[in-house]
Amino acid sequence: MKSAAHRRHDISDRVWELLEPHLPGRKGTWGGVAHDNRLFINAVFWILRTGAPWRDLPPDYGDWKNTHRRFCRWRDKGIWE
């Protein structure tokens, strides 16, 4: 379970409703369905907000190596732009 400090900064339901339709990995789109885009985005925002190295990503956001790998794939595909 996430600590209160993590939840406080996670994406709100309203922001998620606006963001979700623009992300890859949605059901009904080409390619695989993402396991949890919202958790992934929250993990990336945690890294950006704290300035911490990927290795320090709290485990409740997922494995840091997989999160970093996915971040790089999205970067290479221009998704962050």
Q: Which sequence spans correspond to the domains of the chain?
A: 4-76
Q: Which residues of 13-43 are buried (b: 16+ CB within 10 A; e: fewer)?
A: eeeeeeeeeebeeeeeeeeeebeebbbbbbb
What is the reported pLDDT for 55? 97
**What's the pLDDT tens digit per position in 61-79?**
999 999 999 999 999 999 8
Tokens, residue 57:
């990503």
Give 58 or 2, the one with higher predicted confidence: 58
Percent with pLDDT over 70 in the chain:
78
Asked whether the predicted pLDDT for residue 35 surpasses 70, the reply is no
Of the candidates 16, 64, 69, the residue with the CA atom closest to the CA atom of residue 43 = 64
Asked whether the predicted pLDDT for residue 31 surpasses 50, the reply is no
Q: Are 57 and 48 in contact (CB under 8 A)?
A: no
